[in-house]
Amino acid sequence: MTKYWIAPTEYNPQHEAIVEAAAMLRQGEQVGFPTETVYGLGADARNTAAVEGIFAAKGRPSDNPLIVHIADMGMLEELVVQVDPVSRKLAEAFWPGPLTLILPLRPGVLSPRVTAGLDTVGVRMPDHPVALSLITAAACPVAAPSANRSGRPSPTLAEHVREDLGGRIAGLLDGGPTGVGLESTVAMAGSDGRVHVLRPGGISPAELALAAGCAVVVAAADAGHPPQPGAAPGADAPQPAGAAEFRPRAPGMKYTHYAPQGELTVVGDGHAEPARVAERINQLLHEAHAAGQRTGVLVPAEHAAYYRGAADLVIPCGSLADPAATGRELFAALRRFDEAGVTRIYAEAYPADGIGLAVMNRLLKAAGNRILDV
Ligand code: TXA
Ligand code: MG
């Protein structure tokens, strides 16, 4: 049985639901909770059995490190050896908020299962009253990946968490829909004087550059397009400023993520003539129907009319005029195709600027990098 609470709408570590959920965390149990990005599945990051419970509930490979969530800067100083000046600027600019910083881990303070044995840790302070209340009430660093079964789209509603993990976790705080809808930007201030984006998210490279006052590079495998053959990911990986050694980049990025059950293909490059993209997708829909497939289309609202009547399910996902809405709606849209039993999905590529970089990153992962040019 999973205990379910309606969470308070304001910061309140004394709220009854928060106090109960925090007590579960301190007892080594796993609790789902909202953040401003996606729902997280939390556990006490110091407790190895508790952290192992996260991997078990999600069915997640255990060499994929977890992000540690904090509620104040005092918690940060306890977790890391040092905070280099660039990381400090980024934390000051964006915390609380959808940014995870990779920093040198202070030995012995966390279960080694959290970091998968790395000597760095990903830390973030979420900008959500329920998450901050829960971490404060639990008074421990909270390890929390997205609260979905491994490989499924991340949850942006408590209902998604219940679908995936109901009965497998101790508790679930329902705080309504999340804000950004895509997981945090994962970034690291490198010893090469540049900020490396290991996973694009709600904070764009341009925003990072402005706050950090230095160059920002996006890891090739994550730049919103498929990795180039021959480009060894991580070959030019810098040391995080202040750490003795650095191994993989964002190790989680090698796994299949977000994949709907139907086969998803991305069409175009986000800048092609809309009528040509529509013509190509309509032709693909025609072929898929002839092959007995149940079809779906995912497009910005402005283009939905191109496909009405041509696909079994057309989901307008955000709009070109409001790219943030695309981020908010993407994961729920992917789940809807599954519910409708769609076996072939075609998505128009979105422009990969600002939040669009993260949208395209998730869309291409969901598509297993299946992309067709027009
Ligand atoms: O928005 C988010 O970040 C959500 C919410 C719940 O906070 N959490 C989340 O966690 O997406 P998760 O565990 O699904 O993603 C963690 C990502 C993975 O890509 C992982 O490889 C990377 O962060 N990561 C964690 N620790 C790392 C480290 N020490 N070095 C490099 N990458 C790391
Ligand atoms: Mg995840």
Query: Which of 30, 37, 55, 100 has most ligand 1 atoms within 8 Å of its beta carbon, as the pocket-test mutant?
Result: 100
Residue 362 phi/psi, 5° resolution? -70, -40
Q: Give residue 255's pLDDT.
A: 53
Structure tokens at 352: 């990969």
Using a 6 Å cutoff on CB, does residue 35 contact ligand 1?
yes
Q: Give residue 167's pLDDT.
A: 98
Q: Give residue 236's pLDDT.
A: 42
Alpha-carbon gap, residue 333 to 340, rounded angstroms: 11
Residue 288 phi/psi, 5° resolution? -65, -40
Alpha carbon distances (Å) from 237 to 120, 125, 196, 200, 257 = 14, 25, 9, 17, 23
Alpha-carbon gap, residue 124 to 228, rounded angstroms: 30
The angle formed by the CA atoms of residues 135, 137 and 138, to the nearest 5 degrees, is: 65
Q: How close is the Cα of 147 to the center of ligand 2, in Å?
A: 7
Query: Which of 128, 183, 239 has most ligand 1 atoms within 8 Å of its beta carbon, as the pocket-test mutant?
Result: 183
Per-residue pLDDT 10s for the chain (374 aa) are 999 999 999 999 999 999 999 999 999 999 999 999 999 999 999 999 999 999 999 998 888 899 999 999 999 999 999 999 999 999 999 999 999 999 999 999 999 999 999 999 999 999 999 999 999 999 999 999 999 999 899 999 999 999 999 999 999 999 999 999 999 999 999 999 999 999 999 999 999 999 999 999 998 654 444 333 333 334 344 455 544 333 334 555 445 567 889 999 999 999 999 999 999 999 999 999 999 999 999 999 999 999 989 999 999 999 999 999 999 999 999 999 999 999 999 999 999 999 999 999 999 999 999 999 99
Residue 297 phi/psi, 5° resolution? -135, 135
Residue 244 phi/psi, 5° resolution? -75, -35
Q: Which of 155, 146, 182 is nearest to 363 (CA)?
A: 182
Q: Give residue 246's pLDDT.
A: 34
Beta bridge partners of 196: 188, 217
Q: How close is the Cα of 242 to the center of ligand 1, in Å?
A: 20
Q: Which atom of ligand 1 is nearest to the CA of 105?
A: 29
Alpha-carbon gap, residue 201 to 357, rounded angstroms: 8
Residue 196, SS3 per DSSP: strand
CB 178 within 8 A of CB 146: no
Say which residues have a Cβ less than 8 Å from residue 211's Cβ, sequence separation at least 6.
89, 90, 93, 94
Alpha-carbon gap, residue 145 to 67, rounded angstroms: 6
Using a 6 Å cutoff on CB, does residue 221 contact ligand 1?
no
Q: Which of 225, 206, 57, 84 is nearest to 146 (CA)?
A: 57
Using a 6 Å cutoff on CB, does residue 190 contact ligand 1?
no
Helix residue spans in 230-312 (DSSP H): 274-290
Q: How close is the Cα of 302 to the center of ligand 1, in Å?
A: 33
Alpha-carbon gap, residue 317 to 348, rounded angstroms: 10
pTM: 0.92
Query: Which of 33, 67, 68, 135 has most ligand 1 atoms within 8 Å of its beta carbon, as the pocket-test mutant?
Result: 67
Say which residues have a Cβ less than 8 Å from residue 9's Cβ, sequence separation at least 6.
129, 175
Using a 6 Å cutoff on CB, does residue 148 contact ligand 1?
no
Q: Give residue 257's pLDDT.
A: 67
DSSP letter, residue 195:
E
Residue 134, SS3 per DSSP: helix
Q: How close is the Cα of 183 to the center of ligand 2, in Å?
A: 7
- Peptide bond between residue 145 and the one before it cis (omega within 30 degrees of 0): no
Using a 6 Å cutoff on CB, does residue 178 contact ligand 1?
no
* Rg, C-alpha atoms of the chain: 20
Q: How close is the Cα of 222 to the center of ligand 2, in Å?
A: 15
Residue closest by Cα to atom 8 of ligand 1? 145
Q: Which atom of ligand 1 is nearest to the CA of 246?
A: 30
Residue 28 CB-half CA count within 13 A:
7
Alpha-carbon gap, residue 65 to 58, rounded angstroms: 13
